[in-house]
Structure 1
Amino acid sequence: MICVLALLALATPMASASATETLQARTDATSGLITWTWQGDGVSLELAQLLPDQTRAFFLGRGFETEHADLIAAHCVFQAILRNNRPHTPIEVNLHDWSSQGPEGLIRPRPNWDWEATWARRQAPEAARIAFRWALFPGEHRFEPGDWLMGMILFDHPPGTPFDLTLRWRAAGELHEARLPDLRCAGEAGG
């Protein structure tokens, strides 16, 4: 199922107005998982729900103990692909600038550096910590024109939580913002 929602451009007063943005949602007929694809202002973002069991299995396979994999799987996890489609302008992304608004209030994504103290305190194996860093979407990154990256983005929402996501990025020194409404973390049984 594909539904298309045209959104008005949401830019901060510092940013120039952009063309109409689009947000598409498609549900996989087999798994019931939802993938959202957003495009606007020369940037695109794809967010695919990951089941808690998928997340748990992924990190167990990378050397985490069950309790550590369970801790990660208790979060809202998406596979993300972000692209800079601007022909001439780099963009800069810092996940601490993003925010989600759900029933628990305003929550920021948890980049890999936010987890370092947790893994040190829980004595997670070094190889597992390295795999974790490489699996997550980078906390900060500069995207040259045409660049793209993928990785997991974790939110401190429990599985199944609905929320709105606010993206922020910089291009040519200006702060840009877009709001993606009505996203949802995968629940235990799917979308």
Structure 2
Amino acid sequence: MKKIQRLILLSLFVLNANAQELTKDNVNFTIRQIPIPAVKAFYIGRGFSVEQIQPYADTCVYTTTLRNDKTDEEIHYLRENWYASIDKKKHSIKTNDYWKKQFEKSKITPAQWIAFRLSQMPEEQVYAANGGWNQGIFSVNVPHGSTFDLSIVWDEKGKQNELTLQGVSCEK
């Protein structure tokens, strides 16, 4: 059964191959929406029930890669500073603390929480120069069917920088 779940998950990722990528000042950011069935399959495979993961699957969930291609400077980010905007109204990126409180209501186990947390884009990270990178999953608080701009904020030597992907889709 697990082999079938993996094949289904892989096919769902391939079907939704609408990756968006942007590079600014040698910082590269790529996102791809994860379809609702794939979100559910991924977390069910990590011990969640459908009921437990449904609130997360109901948000707009993306897989992402962030890479620092600067030759001499490290960069630092706090994910809580990232945001989506629709018609100039800001919408939050859901944090791990937010999801932990939600999942506590459905009585997830410590193992389920660890599996969830490890799959997420880190809340904070420092990327070394010359290709420091990471990947993970995050969710955006916008309605399905909407299009939004996604702003990624980081600092470099204390100076704030921002990269904005425009026209990001949250498909149903």
User: Given the two structures, how large is their TM-score scaled by the length of structure 1?
Assistant: 0.78
Contact 2:16 2:33 (8 Å CA) reproduced: no
Percent identity between matched residues is 25
Alignment match of 1:183 (pick from 156, 168, 172) = 168
Residue-by-residue CA offset, 1:27-67 (whole Å, 9 max, x unaligned): xxx72541001111120011011101100110111111111
Number of residue pairs matched by the alignment? 159
**Aligned-residue offset at 1:103:** 6.3
**Aligned-residue offset at 1:183:** 0.5
* CA distance, structure 2, for counterparts of residue 104 and residue 135 of structure 1: 30
**Aligned-residue offset at 1:114:** 2.2
Alignment match of 1:144 (pick from 118, 125, 128) = 128
User: What is the DSSP-based 3-state SS (H/G/I as helix, E as strand, rest coil) of the residue aligned with 2:19?
Assistant: strand
Residue-by-residue CA offset, 1:137-188 (whole Å, 9 max, x unaligned): 001111111210000011122333210111110001100112211001132x
Q: 1:66 to 1:104 in 2, by over 3 A?
A: farther
Alignment match of 1:161 (pick from 146, 150, 153) = 146
Query: Unmatched 5+ residue regions in structure 2?
Result: 1-13
* CA RMSD of superposed structures (Å): 1.8
* CA distance, structure 1, for counterparts of residue 158 and residue 87 of structure 2: 33
Query: Which residue of structure 2 lines up, in the alignment, with residue 58 of structure 1?
Result: 42
Residue-by-residue CA offset, 1:119-144 (whole Å, 9 max, x unaligned): 22221121111100000000111111
Contact 2:18 2:33 (8 Å CA) reproduced: yes
Alignment match of 2:15 (pick from 4, 11, 31) = 31
One-letter amino acid of the structure 2 residue matched with residue 69 of structure 1:
I
Query: Which residue of structure 1 lines up, in the alignment, with residue 105 of structure 2?
Result: 121
Residue-by-residue CA offset, 1:93-140 (whole Å, 9 max, x unaligned): 111111101269311211222212122222112111110000000011
* CA distance, structure 1, for counterparts of residue 157 and residue 119 of structure 2: 29
Query: Which residue of structure 2 lines up, in the alignment, with residue 17 of structure 1?
Result: none
Contact 1:113 1:139 (8 Å CA) reproduced: no
Query: Which residue of structure 2 lines up, in the alignment, with residue 133 of structure 1?
Result: 117
Q: 1:132 to 1:32 in 2, by over 3 A?
A: closer
Alignment match of 1:92 (pick from 76, 87, 106) = 76
Query: Which residue of structure 1 lines up, in the alignment, with residue 11 of structure 2?
Result: none
Query: Which residue of structure 2 lines up, in the alignment, with residue 11 of structure 1?
Result: none
* CA distance, structure 2, for counterparts of residue 160 and residue 56 of structure 1: 19
Alignment match of 2:63 (pick from 73, 79, 84) = 79
Alignment match of 2:52 (pick from 63, 68, 73) = 68
Higher helix share: 2
